[in-house]
Amino acid sequence: MRPNITKAEARATTELKNIDSIIIKPADKGGAVVVMDKILYEQEGLCQLTNPKYYREMPESVCADPVERINEILTHLNKIGFINDDQYMYLWALVPVEPRSFYLLPKVHKDKAKWPHPNMLEGRPTVADCGSET
C-alpha cells in the first residue's frame, strides 16, 4: 500500500507526536486536527471534571452492576433461543480491568468568545468506552 503522505510529512508528524508540551486531537466537528498547549488542555479538562453540575467523584467503581444485569439478559436470551451459544459467549460482559480514559475534543466550530482561555478552545468531554462492559 502506497503512503498518502511524503517521508518528510511522516517525519514531521512523528516529531510532533514526541513533543511533550503539546496535545494533538481531532476536532469535535469538521475533520480538522488541533494542536494545543498541554497545560491549557489539562486545565480545561480539570475545570470540566470539577464542575459539580455535570460530574461528581465516585467512591468506588460501579461497573459490576451493569455487568451483572447485561449477563442476566444474555442468559435469558440464550435460554429462549434468541441468541446462540457462540453469540452468548461473544457478548458475555466482564468487569473492566482498566478505568476509562477521559479526554477532550476541541470545539473548533464555537465562537472564540466561548473559549476558556484565549489560546485554548472549549472542549467536548469524551470518555473512551473501548474494553468496557458494553
Instruction: Indicate whether 23 and 55 sit together in one domain.
Output: yes
User: Given this model, what pLDDT does residue 36 score?
Assistant: 94
pLDDT > 90? residue 5: yes
Instruction: Indicate whether 87 and 113 sit together in one domain.
Output: no
66-80 pLDDT per residue, tens: 899 999 999 999 999
Q: What is the mean pLDDT of residues 26-48?
A: 93
Q: Amino acid identity of 61?
A: S
Q: How far is residue 74's CA from residue 40's CA, in Å, rounded to a whole number?
A: 44
Q: Which domain holds residue 49?
A: 19-60+99-134
Asked whether residue 25 is assigned to any structural domain, the reply reads yes
Instruction: Indicate whether 91 and 124 sit together in one domain.
Output: no
Q: How far is residue 15's CA from residue 59's CA, in Å, rounded to a whole number?
A: 40
Asked whether residue 9 is assigned to any structural domain, the reply reads no
Q: How many domains would you assign to the chain? A: 2
Asked whether residue 6 is assigned to any structural domain, the reply reads no
Handedness of CA 19, 25, 94, 96 (dihedral sign): positive
Asked whether residue 77 is assigned to any structural domain, the reply reads yes
All cell numbers assigned to 46 = 480539570
pLDDT > 80? residue 131: no
All cell numbers assigned to 73 = 439478559
